[in-house]
Amino acid sequence: MKLKEAFELIKSNLGKKLVIVIGKCRVRYEGRATSKLSEGDRVLIIKGDGTFLVHQNSGMAAINYQGPGSVARAELNAFLRIISERKSKKLNERIDVDFSSVDFAGSFDLIDDKQISIYGSEKDLSNLLLQDLNIVESGLVPVQQESSFLKGRMDIVARDREGRLVVIELKRRQAEFSAVTQLKRYVEELEKRKNEKVRGILCAPGISKNALSMLEKSGLEFSKLDYAIEKEVIIKGLEKKQKTLDFY
């Protein structure tokens, strides 16, 4: 495909349709960082909202990118240059893609107002647990959920069978140091606010050895959260199930 042909197609569709260009190109980026990528075959996608993505033939992430709101334009000289700029008060960012040859260029009018629905997020697990905190510890009664204060946002607050306040921090994957310090912060803040002793329970499918050590040294507790997400979400601790058939 001729560069000029690609240029015309891109020029007349940028900002309207989704544009795809595939070919041999170099890429430069300047903004929050600086990058260069010498010549090779890549896929360039420019979305209707300005999103600008340069993909190589491997890896999940775009090798160079610019978010929604960016403005793209094309220039034709020795190369077909496609530029994406994003300007804000604090920062200007720019990507230059120089195509020396184009294998394919096309534009597509994508009609799509649908939003994805995801089930199995931390919030979903939290809601499920809230229905029966006995899964975490017998006798726990929820006090409030996601209570926000200036120091952050707690997942679950409850009282144990002896009436003590308990903060529960939920993680959907292996817990690390950050989860421990996060929980510690909430516990300390809540103790100060309520002026009473507060327990902290980290509830996750696993925890690293060092994080566990730090957790215990801080007087906090770990509760293994055994869950599976298939056609239904199953928290194995107490055979707790929530059918998600209606989800489909």
Partner DNA sequence: GCGATCAGCGGCACG
Partner DNA sequence: CGTGCCGTTGATCGC
Stretch that binds a second copy, among 161-169, 174-182, 195-203, 235-243 (CB under 8 A): 174-182
Question: For a second copy, which is the closer residue by CB, 140 or 220?
Answer: 220
β-pair partners for 86: 93
Number of residues that bind DNA (CB under 7 A): 44
Q: Is 123 in the site for a second copy (CB under 8 A)?
A: no
Say what angle helices 177-194 and 209-217 make with each other, to 10 degrees: 20
Distance in angstroms (rounded) separating the CA atoms of residues 227 and 124: 12
Stretch that binds DNA, among 12-20, 63-71, 105-113, 158-166 (CB under 7 A): 63-71
Q: Which of 97, 156, 157, 182 binds DNA (CB under 7 A)?
A: 182
Distance in angstroms (rounded) separating the CA atoms of residues 70 and 84: 6
Q: Is 60 in the site for a second copy (CB under 8 A)?
A: yes
Q: Is 61 in the site for DNA (CB under 7 A)?
A: yes
Starting from the edge strand earliest in sequence, which strands make up the sheet with 165-170, in order? 141-145, 156-159, 165-170, 198-204, 221-224
Q: Is 106 in the site for DNA (CB under 7 A)?
A: no
Q: Is 123 in the site for DNA (CB under 7 A)?
A: yes
Q: Which of 1, 18, 83, 212 binds a second copy (CB under 8 A)?
A: 18
Distance in angstroms (rounded) separating the CA atoms of residues 153 and 53: 34
Question: For a second copy, which is the closer residue by CB, 87 or 151?
Answer: 151
Name the 3-class secondary structure at 181: helix
Residues 128-147 interacting with DNA (rule: CB under 7 A): 146
Nearest approach, Cβ of 36 to a second copy (angstroms)?
6
Q: Show the tokens assigned to 41.
A: 């075959």
Nearby residues of 76 by Cβ (< 8 Å), 6 or more positions away = 3, 4, 7
Question: For a second copy, which is the closer residue by CB, 55 or 81?
Answer: 55
CB-CB contact of 199 with 188 (8 Å)? no
Nearby residues of 155 by Cβ (< 8 Å), 6 or more positions away = 122, 126, 145, 146, 167, 168, 169, 170
Interface contacts to DNA, rule CB under 7 A:
29, 31-33, 35, 59-61, 63-68, 86, 93, 95, 116, 118, 120-123, 146, 148, 150-153, 155, 169, 172-174, 176-178, 182, 185, 206, 208-211
